[in-house]
Amino acid sequence: MTENFRTHVLDITTGHKETVVDLTADCEAFLREWAGGRDGLLNVFVPHATAGLAVLETGAGSDTDLLAALRDLLPADDRWRHRHGSPGHGRDHVLPAIVPPHATLPVIGGRLALGTWQSVCLVDTNVDNANRQVRLSFLG
């Protein structure tokens, strides 16, 4: 690992219900410690087959709307061939094709260059796994 690359793993407990978890403060704290005011890229990665990352507004209902849209698009019923776990769990394995498990974000002057209302969020519809990891990697 060079001085231009740093990585850190967050341990996140999501509970046993569908959820959107805002990771923006965790990303900013990581960059304050390791970016040193440099420009670069922050890669956020979820090493799970049933979770994803989204950049969206939170707190005004968009996170709830996203979960509702995913329920409409990927119903938790018996249509899925992947059948272990809770009923409809197969949809959780399709989620990362729609909500990808990664995001690469610009860092300017050591800070995330997000839009005014944008947040970095973990999207987890898997009610069978409450423990998640998120890898933050800064290249700058």
Percent of the chain exceeding pLDDT 70 equals 99
| Beta bridge pairs of residue 94 | none
Q: How many residues does the chain have?
A: 140
Helix H or strand E segment including 97: helix 90-98
Question: pLDDT, tens digit, for every residue of 1-55?
Answer: 457 999 999 999 999 999 999 999 999 999 999 999 999 999 999 999 999 999 9
Average pLDDT over residues 62-77: 96
The structure tokens 């690359």 sit at: 5
Domain spanning 5-139: CATH 1.20.1250.20: no
| Rounded Cα–Cα distance for residues 8 and 13 (Å) | 16
Where in the chain are the domains? 5-139
| Residue 3 to residue 81: CA distance in whole angstroms | 46
What mean pLDDT, rounded, does the chain reach?
A: 95
Give the chain's radius of gyration (CA, Å). Answer: 16
